[in-house]
Amino acid sequence: MTKRIAVLALALVTVAGCGSSPKTSFYALSVSPSPAQSPTQAAFPVQVVAVHVPPMLDRQEMVRKMTGQSVKLSDTDRWSAPFGDMIRNVLSQDLQSRLSRGSLILPEAPTPQGTASIVVTIADFSADAQGHIELSGSWSVVSSKTNKPMLQRTVALSADGDSDANAVAGSMSRVLGQLASDIASGLAGVRG
């Protein structure tokens, strides 16, 4: 009897081991090429000090907006780093390619005196089931002297793409490039 139970238990363990989970894939945002125009001359150095992302989006799973108020968290498609940190790093690199040399100080790097802070607040940055990307929010340039905003803008950017997770990450990267271009354009008109 004990031998039968052992054989049955071994058979159950073997059958249970045959099932497999879907493969998890990881994605990263990437730097978007700068438009073929001269880099913007900023009047002072800047650094992206913060990117505020709603908790619903700042997670490892890719989030898709569905119909109505429904969202879907992917079981298999994940971000390769914390979403807010990845946005900050890629946006900084995008800005670096759009501003004159030395105008952008990378995140966490020591800043020279007079460096203004860029703060980005994201209300929404997600894809729908068809891969359409929406980014809405605002950005500000904060003076190092007064600690008050010198410039504030709201943004509503979008891109069409494919529903495939890799294509969504690529479309989101292009939207971040649009945001970097908007910030660079805004900085051109600000004097220290």
Instruction: Give the pLDDT confidence of 115-141 residue by residue, as tens digits.
Output: 999 999 999 999 998 999 999 999 999
How do the domains of the chain map onto residue ranges?
Answer: 40-188
Q: What is the pLDDT of residue 1?
A: 56
Overall CATH class of domain 40-188: alpha beta
pLDDT in tens, 87-109: 999 999 999 999 999 999 999 99
pLDDT in tens, 74-90: 999 999 999 999 999 99
- Cβ neighbors of 87 (< 8 A, separation 6 or more) are 29, 51, 53, 120, 122, 125, 176
Q: What is the pLDDT of residue 45?
A: 94
User: Helix, strand or coil for residue 39?
Assistant: coil
Q: How far apart are CA 133 and CA 124, in angstroms?
A: 10
User: Helix, strand or coil for residue 146?
Assistant: coil
Q: How far apart are CA 75 and CA 55, in angstroms?
A: 18
Please check whether residue 77 is in contact with residue 27, taking contact to mean a CB–CB distance below 8 angstroms: yes
What's the mean pLDDT when you consider all of the chain?
A: 89
pLDDT in tens, 150-179: 999 999 999 998 889 999 999 999 999 999
**Long-range contacts of the stretch 105-108 (C-beta < 8 A, 24+):** 105/45, 105/46, 105/47, 106/47, 107/47, 107/48, 107/49
Selected residue with higher pLDDT from 159 and 4 = 159
Q: What is the DSSP string of 58-123?
A: SSSEEEEE-STT-EEEEEEEEESS-HHHHHHHHHHHHHHHHB-TTSBPPTTS---TTPEEEEEEEE
| Amino acid letter, residue 178 | Q
Does residue 147 have a pLDDT over 80? Answer: yes
Confidence of residue 43 (pLDDT cuts 50, 70, 90): confident
- Cβ neighbors of 106 (< 8 A, separation 6 or more) are 47, 92, 93, 96
For the chain, how many helices (H) and strands (E)? 3, 7
Confidence (pTM): 0.86
Does residue 14 have a pLDDT over 70? Answer: no
Does residue 19 have a pLDDT over 70? Answer: no
- Cβ neighbors of 56 (< 8 A, separation 6 or more) are 63, 71
